[in-house]
Amino acid sequence: MIGSLFVTGPAGTGKSTFCAGLKEWLISNDYDAAVVNLDPGSEYIPYDAEVDIRETISLSQIMSEYNLGPNGAQIVAADLLLENADKITRMIKELDDYYVIFDTPGQIELFSFRPGSPILVDRLSGGKAMIAYIADSVIASSPSGYISQKMLFGSVMSRFYKPMLFVLNKTDLISEEEINNIVSWENSPDLLLDAFLEEKQEMVKDYFSSILHAFKESQMVNRIFQVSARDMYGFEDIYGEMSLFFTGGSDTDTMFRDD
């Protein structure tokens, strides 16, 4: 593979739709692309999966075998992913010149916060991995919602320590003014803090001031990728970042590169 993109984020933010849209965009621009579904709990997926974990891991089987409810079974299933890493790797081995997109379980903690997940990412990607964090525009359009998304993004980064894209999906659902606000908050922690103070007068100012400035200074998130997976908007920029990182573009963030 050329490289792999693991798509994570809170439930319902559009991860699977994003995977479908990115695959479609890549193929229509003459790149080879494949999607691997790592969500054993998904009932419907909006793409043709080259590899589908549901053929290997069955939630209902786990529930009856281990006498578990749906949540317990999801956790066992998430941990079984690592046990199946070699099998999945064999299945994607032939995808030489492909960008491989991994769709991950609906609940973010099942992928991003399980102990084996960083190992899983390394094994499936052979080390060539980026992570797309999908945030919902409607949630991110309030200062507190945006801060919560950035903090969750930071948590995911602390788990994987891979190059990450902050994808603001469903931009079709918010106004241009709201998008401009989010971009201005991204560029200025002071503006974000002011907006947050207006929303929640009782918040602990020093705590959040430090956090918001730390995010800015760390350069960990310095760009928002505006996407509407539904409208096929924004995928060119996502591809641009992937191509830069995987094929060695000059202005790629070098923080994570070995070479």
Ligand X SMILES: Nc1nc2c(ncn2[C@@H]2O[C@H](COP(=O)(O)OP(=O)(O)OP(=O)(O)O)[C@@H](O)[C@H]2O)c(=O)[nH]1
Residues 86-125 that bind ligand X (CB under 6 A): 106
Question: By Cβ distance, which residue is nearest to Mg ion?
Answer: 16
Residues 115, 48: Cα–Cα separation, whole Å: 29
- Contact between residue 105 and residue 74 where contact means Cβ atoms under 8 Å apart: yes
- Contact between residue 138 and residue 174 where contact means Cβ atoms under 8 Å apart: yes
Residue (68 or 232) nearer to ligand X, CB: 232
Task: Kindly state whether residue 8 participates in binding ligand X, applying the rule CB under 6 A.
Answer: no
State in Å, rounded, how far the first CA of the chain is from the last one.
18
Site mask for Mg ion (CB under 5 A), range 6-45, x = bound: ---------xx-----------------------------
Pairing of strands 51-52, 98-103: unpaired
Strand 224-226: give its sheet, edge to edge: 51-52, 32-37, 98-103, 3-8, 129-136, 164-169, 224-226
Residue 120 in 3-state DSSP? helix
- Kindly write down the DSSP assignment for every residue of 33-71, as one continuous string: EEEEE--TT-S--SS--SEEGGGT--HHHHHHHHT--HH
Pairing of strands 32-37, 98-103: parallel
Task: Kindly state whether residue 143 participates in binding ligand X, applying the rule CB under 6 A.
Answer: no
Residue (13 or 181) nearer to ligand X, CB: 13
Task: Kindly state whether residue 23 participates in binding ligand X, applying the rule CB under 6 A.
Answer: no
Question: By Cβ distance, which residue is nearest to ligand X?
Answer: 106
Residue (15 or 162) nearer to Mg ion, CB: 15
The entry of ligand X, Mg ion, none near residue 92 (CB within 5 to 8 angstroms by kind) is none
Residue (172 or 194) nearer to ligand X, CB: 172
The entry of ligand X, Mg ion, none near residue 229 (CB within 5 to 8 angstroms by kind) is ligand X
The entry of ligand X, Mg ion, none near residue 17 (CB within 5 to 8 angstroms by kind) is ligand X
Task: Kindly state whether residue 112 participates in binding Mg ion, applying the rule CB under 5 A.
Answer: no
Task: Kindly state whether residue 74 participates in binding Mg ion, applying the rule CB under 5 A.
Answer: no
| Number of DSSP helices (H) and strands (E) in the chain, helices first | 12, 7
Amino acid type, 210 = S
Residue (16 or 149) nearer to Mg ion, CB: 16
Task: Kindly state whether residue 11 participates in binding ligand X, applying the rule CB under 6 A.
Answer: yes
Residue (107 or 181) nearer to ligand X, CB: 107
Q: Return the residue matching tokens 């964090």.
A: 133
Q: Which residues bind Mg ion (CB under 5 A)?
A: 15-16
Q: Which residues bind ligand X (CB under 6 A)?
A: 11-17, 39, 42, 106, 169-170, 172-173, 228-230
